[in-house]
Amino acid sequence: MSTSTSELMYSLQQGRMHLEELHERPELVQETLKEHHEAIQKIEGLGLRSFSPLLKITIWGLRVYVLFMVVVVLYNVLQHV
């Protein structure tokens, strides 16, 4: 796995490293964040997922649930005012 390799590699650096010092080492930054950048690239390449009929019914059901509950809350509040 890329992170374990890079972390092991840069853990060998001695002493305390500072932000300014690291800024001058772009290759070190890139290697350390390899897993991060690969994951972002992967996510950016994803398209929409397909909805099965059951899934569509479920998420529409949950949406109707919320709208119904908002009406119930408003009714409840009006009862208390």
Partner 1 sequence: MSMQAPSREDTARALDRIRVGKARHGRSWLRLLWLLVGPGILVMLGENDGPSMLSYSATGSQFGLGFFLPFVLFTFLLAFIAQEITVRLGAVSKAGHAELIYRRFGRFWGNFAMIDLLFTNVLTLITEFVAVVAGASYFGISKYIAVLVALIVVVLALSSRRYWSWERITMGLALMNLVFVPVAFMAHPDWHSVGRAFLTWSPLPNGGFNQNTIMILLSDIGATITPWMLFFQQGAVSDKGLAIRDIKMGRIDTGIGALLAALAAAACIIATSPLFTHHMNANQFGAAQFAQALAPYVGRMGATLFAVGILEAGLVAIVAISTSSAYAFGEVTQKAHSLNRSFREAKGFYTVLFIVAAISGGVVLIPGFPLEFVVLIVNILAVLTMPPAIGFLLLLVNDKEIMGEHRSGWFLNTMGISVGAFVSLAGLFYALTVIFPNLHL
Binding residues (CB under 8 A) for partner 1: these are 1, 3-4, 6-8, 10-13, 17-19, 22-23, 26-30, 32-33, 35-36, 39-40, 42-43, 46-49, 55, 58-59, 62-63, 65-66, 68-70, 72-73, 75-77, 79-81
User: Is 32 within 8 Å of 6 (Cβ atoms)?
Assistant: yes
Instruction: Tell me the DSSP string of 65-81.
Output: HHHHHHHHHHHHHHHH-
Residue with tokens 């509040």: 77
Minimum separation from the CB atom of position 77 to partner 1 (A): 6
Structure tokens at 45: 């390449």
Minimum separation from the CB atom of position 53 to partner 1 (A): 15
